Structure 1
Amino acid sequence: MPSHTRKVRRRASVWFERILTAIAAADLGLVFFDLSYIPWRDFYVLKAPAALHETYDQLKGIEPYRDTQQYIDRVNDLKTQVALTGIESPQVEAILADLRQRSRDMIDENPFQLANKTGNLERIKNQLRAYIDNESAKDAFQVFWSQDYLKQNWEASIAFYDRELLPNFRTNYFRQIGENSEFIDHFWKLDLIFIAFFGVEYLARTWTISRRIGIGWREAMLWRWFDVFLLLPAFRWLRVIPVVVRLDRSEILDLSPIRRQASEFVIASVASEITETVVIQVLDQLQTSIRQDAILSILQNIEQQQDTYVDLNNVDEVNEISKRLINVSVYDVLPKIRPDLEALLNHTIFSSVESLPAYQSVKFLPGMQELPKRLSQEIVTQFVGALYDGIVGAIEDPIGAELTEKLTQNFAAALKLEIGKPTNLNEIEDLLVAFLEEAKINYVRRSSTNDIELVVQETKRLREAAERRS
C-alpha cells in the first residue's frame, strides 16, 4: 500500500511538472512569436488567418497606413462601380482619375518608407512596368488606370492587380510612436501575466526547498537559478534555458545524451587549456632557473650551498652519473663496438705499413704482400684485447677500483670546473633556454591542432570499455 501511494504521488508530481513545463513552453513560444512578428509580418498578413494580425497589430501599435489603405478602398470602389454601371461610365472615369493621381502621389511621397518597406513600392513599380511594357512607372500607372486600357481586358487586368500588386499594398502599415520616442509595444502587458505566474511559482518552490532541506532562502533560490530567466522581460529569449531544463526534468524529452556530450566537450576543452598552461609554466620556471645560474649552483659543492640548495638524498649526482657512464661504457658499450674499433684500427695500421718505404722495396717478394694485413690484425687484436682487459681489470681490481673512483671524482670535478667557467656556462644556458622556448612553441602548436572532438571520442570510448568490463 505505501508503495502504491508513492507511485501515485510520483505520477501526480510528474504530471504537475509537465503542466508547468507546458505553460513555460507556451510562454517561450509567445516570446519567439513576438520577436518574429515585425520581421515576418508580411507572412502573417498574407498567409495566416486575418484575426491573428488584426489582433496582434493592436499590441504592437500597428494600423493600416492611411494612403495605401485608401488606395485599396478606391480599387474596391472601382470593382463595385464597374459591376453596377460598366467600365465606360462617368462614375468609373472619376474613380480612375482619382487612382491615377494617387499613383503619382504614391511614387513621389513613398508611404512605404516609415515601415521600412520601400522595397514593396519598388516591387509594385517593377511589376507594373513589366506588365504594361513601359519604362516609366508613372506612365505605366496612367495607362493601367484608364478606361481605354481596362475596357480591352478588364478581368485580366484586375486579376493582375489582385495577384501581384494588392499583397504589397496590404503589408504596408503605420506604427505609432510613444512619448518615449519608441514604437508602441504592449506585449509587456501580456508578458506580465506569465512573469507574475512564474514569480509566484518561484517563491513557492524556494519556500518548499528551504523547508524540506533546511537551508536559507538565498541558498534555496540558487537551486532553481535557471527559473530566474522566466522573470526577466529584458532577456526574454533566455527563457529557452529554463524551458529546456524543465522538459528534461519532467521526462518529456530525454536530453541526457546532449547534456553528457556538452559536458564532455567542456571538460575536454578546459582540461586541454589547463594542461597547456601547466606545461608552459613548468618550462618557464625551468628557463628562469637556468637564467638564475641554477646549473652553476648544481655543479658547485653542495656543502657550500646549504642555504640555497636542497639535497634530497645525500648523493652527489654528478659523481654518480660519471661513474655510471664509465661502467656502462666499459661493460656494455665497448663489447658492442669492439668489432668496429678493431676494423678501424686494422685499416689505420694496414695503411701505415703499406706506406713505409721499407715495405715498398720488399712487397714484391713472395709472401710479403700479406704481411701488412697479418701484421695489422695481430697488433689490433692484441692491443684491443689488452686494452679492454686492462680497463676491466682496473675497474674490478681493488687498487684499480680506487684509481677508477679517483678518476671519476677528478672527471666530475674537472667537468664542474669547465662547465662553471663563464664562457661555457653562458653558452650552455643560452642553448638550454632556446631549447625550452622551442619546446613551448611546438607544444602549443601541437596542442592547438589537436581536435577536441577526438579527445571527447577517446573519453567516450574508454568509458564504454570500462562499462563493458564492469
Structure 2
Amino acid sequence: MVRPRWLSVQRTAAARSWVIWDRSIALWATVNLVWVAFDITYVPFRTFWLQRNLTPIPQVPLVVPLKVLPNITPLYDPVKGIEPHRETQAYLQHFDQLDAALSQAAPLPGSAALRRQQVQLTEAMINENPFAASGNSGTLEKIKNRLRQRAGLDSAKQSAERLLSDRWLQQHTWEEERRFWQQQILPLVATSYWRSIDENGRPSDHFWRYDLLLFQSVFAFDILLRMLRLRRRFPGLSWRDALLRRWIDLPLLLPFWRWMRLAPVVERLSQTGLINVEPLRAVISRGVVSLLALELFEVLALQLVDGTQSLIRSPQWPRMIRSLRSHQSVSALPPQLEQPLLGLLQLWGPMVLGQVTPRLTPELQSLLSHALEQSLREVPGGAVVPSALARQLTASMVETVVELSRTTADRLAQSDDRQAELLQRFGDRFWEELAAALERGDTLERSQELLCGLLQQVKLNYLAQVNRAGIGALMEELDDLTSPGATTPEPPATPPV
C-alpha cells in the first residue's frame, strides 16, 4: 500500500522536531554541567574570583591581573551562604577612614587616634584569626610575614605599630605606605568571610534550589518524554523497563554526586551528533580491554598450570592409566565416543606406517648403518666392517621393515573385526603394563617431580615475558595490526611433495 505524502511529511517534521528538542536538552545539560563544575570549585577558588589575580608560581611574587573578568562574588556568595566577616569588614572600613585622614595636605587632628585604632585592630585580627572560619589560616601568616618584611622586625604586632608610627611616617610618605597596605595587606584581609550553617550542621548551600527549578525539572520532563517515545515504539514495554533503558539519565536527577552528570551529558551530546567521542572511547576501551584481557589470561594460564601440576602430583596415576582400558573406559563414555583410542589407532596407524615411515628410509639407513658399525667395534675380537658393507646390510633391513610397515598399514586400513579385537587387546595390555611399571621403584615420583619442575619453569618464564612486554608493547602491536597501512603477511610457500 502506497503511503500518502502528507503522512510522510508529517513524520519527517516530527522526527526533525525531536532532533531539535534532543539537541536543545543536550546543550541545556551542558550548561548545567559547566555550572555544576563552577559551583563545586567556587569556594576553593573564591579568592581568585574576588581578586581576579593569577599567581603562576606561589613562591614568587608574580601576579598576573585579570581585571577583564567581572567580580561575581557579590552575586554568588549568597548562593553558598557566604557573608562578609564582621571583623575584617570593620578593619577595611576603618582603614578607609585612616586613609581619608592621612591623604589630606595637612593631616587631620584625629589621625593619630585613627592610627592607634588601626594598630589595635591589626593586633586583634592576629590574636583572633578570623580566617580560620573559612579555612584560610595561611592568609594570616602571609599578612604577618609581609608586615615583618616591611618593618624589618620579628614581631608582626610590633611591625604594624612601627609602620603606623609618627617616626615611620616622617621618613616615608603616606602615598608609598598606602600603596603597600592596599596592594599587600588589604586584598588578603578582604578574602576572609563567614559562612552560615544549616540545621544539619553543614555549611549552607542554596544551589539545589536553582538546580531543581531551572535544570532538574527540565531533565525530569525530558526523561518522561523519552519513556513515552520508547513505549510508543515498543508497546509491550513496561514503564519500569522504559526507565531502566534510560538509566544513564538518572544522575541528572541526583541532588548529590553532581559530577556524575558528566556521563549523561557526554552521552546526549554524542547521541545528537554535537560531538564525536568515538576516538576517545575507542582509545580508552582498547586500553581497558587490553589490561583486563592480559590480567584475565594470566589468571587463567596460572590456574591451568597449577591444576595440571596438582593432577601430576596425584598418586593415582596407575589407577587413572588402568581406567583407560576398554572394558573400564567405554562404559563411562557416551555411545558416540566409545573406544576413542581404538579409532585413533585405526586412523593414525595406516598414516604413520604407510606414509610417514617410507619417507624416512634414507635416515633410517644412515642411523642403522652407524649403529651397526659402532656395535661391532665394541664386540671383543670383532672385525671392522666397511662402511659400504654396513650400508648394504642396513639397506636390506630397512627395505624389509618398510615393506612390512606398508603391508601392516594396508591391513590396518581394512575393516576387520579380528583386527579390531587385537588392537583393543594390545591397548589394554599396554595401559596395564605402563601402570605396573610406574608402580615399581621411584619412577612415578621422579616423573612427577620432573614434570612439575618443567611446568614451574614455563610459568615463571611466561610471567617474566608478560611483565617485560607490558601493556605498551601489546597496544603498539595492536596499532600495527589495525592501522590502515598494515599488510597481511603472505603464508610461506608449501614445498613440493
Q: TM-score range by the shorter chain?
A: 0.7 to 0.9
TM-score normalised by L of structure 1: 0.79
The answer to whether residue 36 in structure 2 is matched with residue 31 in structure 1 is yes
Shift of 1:446: 4.5
Structure 1 alignment gaps of length 5 or more: 360-371
Correspondent of 1:133 among 152, 156, 171: 152
Distance change in 2, residues 1:50/1:175 (3 Å)? farther
Q: Deviations over 1:147-198 (max 9, x none)?
A: 3212432111111111111111111112222332222222222222122232
Q: Tell me the residue number matched to 2:132.
A: 113
Alignment of 1:384 with 2:421, yes or no, is no
Once the two structures are TM-superposed, the CA of residue 306 in structure 1 deviates from its matched residue by 3.6
Pairs within 5 Å for 1:234-313:
234-276=256-298, 278-280=300-302, 282-283=304-305, 286-287=308-309, 289-290=311-312, 291=314, 293=316, 296-298=319-321, 300-308=324-332, 312-313=338-339
Matches of 1:413 and 1:383 in 2, distance apart? 37
Aligned match for 1:22, one of 8, 18, 27 = 27
- Offset at residue 294 of structure 1 (A): 5.7
- Distance of 1:301 and 1:17 partners within structure 2: 71
Partner of 2:103: helix, strand, or coil? helix
Q: Determine whether 1:41 maps to 2:51.
A: no
| 178, 195, 219: which one aligns with 1:158 | 178
Measure how far apart 1:135 and its partner are: 2.5
SS at match of 2:83: strand
Q: Which residue is 1:91 aligned to? A: 110
Q: Residue 164 and residue 386 in structure 1: after superposition, are their counterparts in 2 closer, same or farther (change >3 A)? A: same
| Residue in structure 2 matched with residue 201 of structure 1 by the alignment | 222
Secondary structure of the 1:58 match is coil
**Structure-2 residue corresponding to 1:55:** 75
Please report how far the alpha carbon of residue 210 of structure 1 lies from its aligned counterpart in structure 2 after TM superposition.
Answer: 1.7
8 A contact 2:369–2:391 mirrored in 1: yes
C-alpha separation between the residues in 2 aligned to 1:413 and 1:184? 85
1:357-409 per-position Cα deviation (integer Å, ceiling 9, x unaligned): xx9xxxxxxxxxxxx87x544663455345435544655678xx99xx99x87
Cα distance in structure 2, aligned partners of 1:411 and 1:395: 20
Q: What is the one-letter code of the residue matched to 2:181?
A: Y
Question: Does the C-alpha gap of structure 1 residues 30 and 190 become closer, same or farther in structure 2, counting only changes over 3 Å?
Answer: same
Q: Which amino acid aligns with 1:184?
A: S
CA contact (8 A) 2:195 2:204 kept: yes
Cα contact 1:318–1:412 (8 A) shared by 2: no
Aligned residue number for residue 59 of structure 2: none
Alpha-carbon distance change, 422 to 90 in structure 1, aligned in 2, over 3 angstroms: farther
Evaluate the alpha carbon distance shift between residue 397 and residue 328 of structure 1 in structure 2; reply closer, same or farther with a 3 A threshold. Answer: closer
Cα offset, 1:431, TM superposition: 3.6
Taking a change above 3 Å as real, the CA distance of residues 379 and 254 of structure 1, as seen in their structure-2 partners, is closer
Instruction: Quote the Cα distance in structure 2 between the aligned partners of 1:30 and 1:395.
Output: 87
Provide the residue aligned with 1:104 in structure 2: 123
Q: Which residue of structure 1 aligns with residue 99 of structure 2?
A: 79
SS of 1:127's equivalent in the other structure is: helix
Question: CA separation of 1:327/1:425 partners in 2, compared to 1, >3 Å: closer, same or farther?
Answer: farther
Whether 2:232 is the aligned partner of 1:211: answer yes
Q: 1:289 to 1:165 in 2, by over 3 A?
A: same
The one-character-per-residue Cα deviations of 1:249-282 (angstroms, maximum 9, x if unpaired) are 2221122222333444444445445545554555
Question: Percentage identity across aligned positions?
Answer: 27
- The 1-side partners of 2:350 and 2:443 are apart by 23
User: What number of residue pairs does the alignment pair up?
Assistant: 447
Q: What are the residue-to-residue correspondences of 1:328-367 with 2, within 5 Å?
A: 331-333=358-360, 335-336=362-363, 338-339=365-366, 342=369, 346=373
* Matched-pair contact (CA < 8 Å) for 1:129–1:135: yes
| Cα displacement (A) at 1:316 | 3.7
Q: Give 1 or 2: higher helix fraction.
A: 1
User: Which has the larger displacement, 225-234 or 276-285?
Assistant: 276-285
User: Aligned equivalents of 2:338 and 2:456: distance in 1?
Assistant: 28
TM-score (norm 2): 0.75
Structure ranking higher on relative contact order (CA contacts 8 Å, 6+ apart): 1
| Mean Cα deviation higher: 460-469 or 290-299 | 460-469
Whole-Å separation in 1 of the counterparts to 2:27 and 2:330: 73
Q: Which residue of 1 aligns with 2:86?
A: 66
Report Cα offsets for 1:104-155 as digits up to 9, x if no partner. Answer: 2222222222222121111112122222222222221111112321243211
The gaps in structure 2 that reach 5 residues or longer are: 53-66, 413-421, 489-497
Show the 5 A alignment for 1:161-200: 161-193=181-213, 194-200=215-221
Report the Cα offset of residue 64 of structure 1: 1.8
Q: Distance in 2 between matches of 1:192 and 1:217?
A: 23
> Distance between the aligned counterparts of 1:166 and 1:205, measured in 2?
54
Does the 8 Å CA contact 1:60/1:184 hold for their aligned counterparts?
Answer: yes
Question: Which shows bigger deviation, 39-48 or 204-213?
Answer: 204-213
Q: Which residue of 1 aligns with 2:17?
A: 12
Change (3 A) 1:432 1:126: same
For 1:100, give the aligned amino acid: V
Tell me if the contact between 1:198 and 1:230 (Cα under 8 Å) persists in the aligned partners: yes
Cα deviation for residue 289 of structure 1 reads: 4.8
